[in-house]
Amino acid sequence: MSADKKSEAGGLPARRASLLILSSVLRKRRALDVAIAEAFAEVTLDERDSGFARAIASETLRRLGILDALIRNFVRKAPLPHKAGPTLEILLAGACEVLFIKTAPHAAVDAANRLAQEDAKAVHFKPLINAVLRRVTREGAAVLETLDIGRLALPDWMWVRLTAHYGEETARAIAQAHLVRPPLDLVLKTEDESHLRFANGERLSRRCLRLSDAGRVEEIPGYKDGRWWVQDFAASLPVQLLGEIKGRKVIDLCAAPGGKTAQLAASRGDVVAVDVSQERLDVLRSNLARLKLSTEIIAADARDWRPKAPVPFVLLDAPCTATGTMRRHPELPWIKSAADITALNSLQSELLDAAAEMTCNGGRLVYAVCSLEPEEGLEQVESFLARCAAFARDPLRPDEVPEASFISPQGDLRTLPHYWGAKGGMDGFYAARLRRRA
């Protein structure tokens, strides 16, 4: 059902849920997936309403900076939450519906008024909400044309960092990629899945397929049979840097939820998956069970755990700010800050040292992060190599990646969200391949 028809049919429960989601993300800095789960536990919705609520919340967050600037064009001073309750969230979501989701304006404005009426604080700002959204309906499109959309797509802290590290042109390209809803990437368990029929599918590599307008994941052919798993194309590249692993021992550190673990297992490596979170490991076990893949799974802090003997291959997909994944997680720029980068530096360094101890002489260690921040990627590796003379960089060759532009001047993997923009972009990933001297 289109957003227009959905709105005219009512849609108020969906909008209630979207308001809960937005308030949770913006006020409590909850991850979007967590906020959605909490809202859906509180508001009972059918499948179509659930989809509508997700669309409102995710698109509002994807365009949050733009919508905020637009609203401020009509309301110079935003209502304070402790006095106005969710008034600002109602305004942002209502404007998003009108301008980007293309809901019928009268339906969006009426729903916003009803949401305000239901809240003890927002009800006092109902006249303001009504007036602002009616102006958005009349003047919003013209105001958007006057705004610097690329600059407003990202918060100040991220814009400053991206322009400093990559230059303004690249920063704008990354911002533009953030505004586009990403397609769905599937990694096939085997290269030969020719019996599966995917609508709107494009092959990105021998085992990676990209779908546009994929619909519900559970309804895609091959899901129940465990023929594939969801994984962004860029996220599939670090595993490939290990090389041939068939029949050989591989340690996958910080493994959950298991996309890279599945890659390793499907390549017939003898895999040990290690993660500190039992909850995330439960997800990994569930994913591997559906895929009919098996690995040894260990719940432990990788900084403390060690194998009985060093192994030839170690993959460390380290915890990070995940800023490279903001296409798929539009809330990230708004719930993270520059302080989060510093907070993770020590953990990444300690994990890298631990991974080095697990790597045998002549073995390969791949360090990866889904981050755009040099402190979490290149600088971590440079610091590690400076303090650990036993390791040297093993530079990537052009024939190991889809395009030579994916290789940094240092010989590492570096993808950015706007790469392959015509195909739908990709996550921003950094990975370095290191070798312990024999």
* pLDDT (0 to 100) of residue 10: 64
96 is catalytic: no
Whether 340 and 394 map to the same domain: the answer is yes
Residue type for position 409:
P
Residue at 160 is within a domain: no
Which segments in the chain show pLDDT lower than 50? 1-9
Residue at 155 is within a domain: no
Whether 141 and 284 map to the same domain: the answer is no
Q: What CATH number is associated with residue 108?
A: 1.10.940.10
Answer whether the bond into residue 417 is a cis peptide, omega within 30°: no
Whether 125 and 253 map to the same domain: the answer is no
Whether 279 and 416 map to the same domain: the answer is yes
Residue at 71 is within a domain: yes
Residue at 9 is within a domain: yes
Number of domains observed in the structure of the chain: 3
Q: What range defines the domain where residue 46 resides?
A: 3-147
Residue at 363 is within a domain: yes
* pLDDT (0 to 100) of residue 81: 77
Residue at 39 is within a domain: yes
The pLDDT tens digits of the residues spanning 64-93 come to 999 999 999 999 777 777 889 999 999 999
Q: Which candidate, 264, 232, 260, 233, places its Cα nearest to that of 250?
A: 264
Whether 409 and 267 map to the same domain: the answer is yes
Whether 311 and 211 map to the same domain: the answer is no
Whether 244 and 372 map to the same domain: the answer is yes
* pLDDT (0 to 100) of residue 212: 86
Whether 250 and 105 map to the same domain: the answer is no
Residue at 176 is within a domain: no
Q: Is the Cβ–Cβ distance between 419 and 426 less than 8 Å?
A: yes
Q: Which of 96, 208, 320, 370 is catalytic?
A: 370
* pLDDT (0 to 100) of residue 6: 43
Last residue of a domain, one of 229, 255, 282: 229
Whether 104 and 224 map to the same domain: the answer is no
Q: Is the Cβ–Cβ distance between 52 and 17 less than 8 Å?
A: no
Q: What radius of gyration, in Å, describes the C-alpha atoms of the chain?
A: 23
Whether 221 and 254 map to the same domain: the answer is no
Last residue of a domain, one of 229, 253, 288: 229
Whether 286 and 400 map to the same domain: the answer is yes
Last residue of a domain, one of 202, 229, 256: 229
Q: If DSSP codes are grouped into helix, strand and coil, which group holds residue 428? A: coil
Whether 240 and 274 map to the same domain: the answer is yes
Residue at 259 is within a domain: yes
Q: If DSSP codes are grouped into helix, strand and coil, which group holds residue 185? A: strand
Q: What CATH number is associated with residue 429?
A: 3.40.50.150
Q: Is the Cβ–Cβ distance between 305 and 298 less than 8 Å?
A: yes
